Structure 1
Amino acid sequence: MSLIDTAKQVFSPAPSPQRPRQRPDDVVELYHGHAVKRLIELRRKSTDLRALAMLPGEELNALMRRRTAVKNRRTEVAGRRPIQVDALAEIDAELALIESNIAELQQIKADRDQAANCVTQLVKGCEDYGLDHLLTCAVSLHTIKAPSFLKGENEATALARVRNEINDINADISDVKAAPLPSAEAKQKARDHVSGLIEAGRIDVSGLLRRSGGGVQWPTVYGHREIDIQPVLAFICSDQIIAKLESEIDLLADDERALSDAQCATKLKVLLAKRLELERDEEELYRMAESKGFAVSRRPDADIRAVLGLASTMPAPR
């Protein structure tokens, strides 16, 4: 189990178990309260955005057909003699306008596709969460609270601020996960590794003590006749190997940045808890900003517990 999984377990103790439920026809049946309402809203939003993303398609096709016709007309006019400069300039201006309109519609479609994909991913995340966790544990809801605003903020600027704070937390989480182990722990791992090799590298000399004769039995690689050299070296000179490994560890260690497994898990627990609270604010600010007409979008990797308003004691998403 990874350190992040360990921290999530500490942060999200298992809810009270219940008898396993049968998989329902619709995952929404696994939820209750405001979580049901929010999942249904997400599904409806996904459908609406998909339909909206399709709208520019017909207009784009019409513009492309028109562009082809204008290009053909330009080729025909360019072949006339004498050269009709004014007519060509007029056609070029028409082509430039068409290209501009195509680019604008393509950007609109791309933005709508991205927004639809974000919501679709969240819907799938909610459904997967239900199947992963709610067949075996009861749903517990979080009490929805209004987010706080800084002076001069509106819903959109507050949302942007909170998302920046989430990004900062994610950077801190990455730093913690990337922190090296203390040299003392690394050295203990080295000693344990060498100790584990010693018995496998033990050279059997019992044959030399038998009157009937016998030779030295060297450890071999499984299924082969070759001597398994690493265990043999550990058996013969474990102290020297350990000393050399510890010397190499001293050269590479960065104990100022190092964290033990316990320290890492503790830091991750605090950061994950803070991030979830920020994501709860993010969800409420997004809903408020959208209702007031701000051009805001969802984040597809948001914590499902924040999106649906589930309790922090519920398991973290996988």
Structure 2
Amino acid sequence: MPSTVMSTSNTGAAHPYPVAVSASGLRKSYGDRTVLDGIDLRIPAGSVFALLGPNGAGKTTAVKILSTLVAADGGQAQVGGHDLAADPQAVRAAIGVTGQFSAVDGLITGEENMLLMADLHHLPRREGRRVAAELLERFDLTEAAGKPAATYSGGMKRRLDIAMTLVGSPRIIFLDEPTTGLDPRSRHTMWQIIRELVTGGVTVFLTTQYLQEADELADRIAVLHDGRIAAEGTAEELKRIVPGGHVRLRFTDPAAYRSAAASLRETTRDEEALTLQIPSDGSQRELRSLLDRLDAAGVEADELTVHTPDLDDVFFALTGGGNAPSRTDQPKEEAR
């Protein structure tokens, strides 16, 4: 019987959810190099979990262990309610894996790749053809199905890769850096596919080198550094552990600027630019409090912007910035 984890809804009520993946004290070394040094994981079913870390941090090793491709040196894990060591076959039956490197055979067509996977899953021929056709249509590959996969673009190959992973209807999918090397359009298409999978109840264990990807997709994120989980939480929770968040107020009227400065505490002032910077975590509660104080003083700012630390800041703070994952440049300040 799968274990459960308590999750709190927006109403504050707690609800139990089955745990799709759990691990305790997972360890793995290669020679003198410790790759995983006792990591703990607890991933609710029907969610996206992102494992983030520098290159060589052990993300792929974690995926290989949890998908039964390599054995851990120590610790315990359950995947889909099955013990990793005691019942690896049951684990394999419950999961799908899309690795960093494509499993697509470029010498045969997309349809033939799908039918090959159907045969590997021992589906009856008619059932295999039905499943292959449905998945090819779902991933917008029907027109290209009869062409050799070697002629596919990178994005098409990645979509075919995931379609092949879904042939066995896995409830848990490991995606190891699924969008590496894709252009922005193909990456966003892949994000939409992942969201649709989760909407259908699938659990996604994602490793990524794109900070924005984790921010966009993941319900929870863990940062792996030196073989250990340095921090874990929602994107917003992780951002709050890094100092530096603030609200910036800009004025055009010097009198309004002086009134605001007199009514607000702990401000950093720029007399020339007529701006005030107030420490803040960017929460709705703090913003409401700030606006209430401005209203009480009879002052209105011409512009209010909120700066909150992003995952770049979190990553650099937790790992020292070595071998940083890639990111899509985004402004850190949002105009309000």
TM-score by length of 1: 0.21
| Higher RCO (C-alpha 8 Å, min separation 6) | 1
TM-score by length of 2: 0.20
Q: Which structure has the highest helix share of the two?
A: 1
Higher Rg? 1
Q: Which structure has the highest strand share of the two?
A: 2
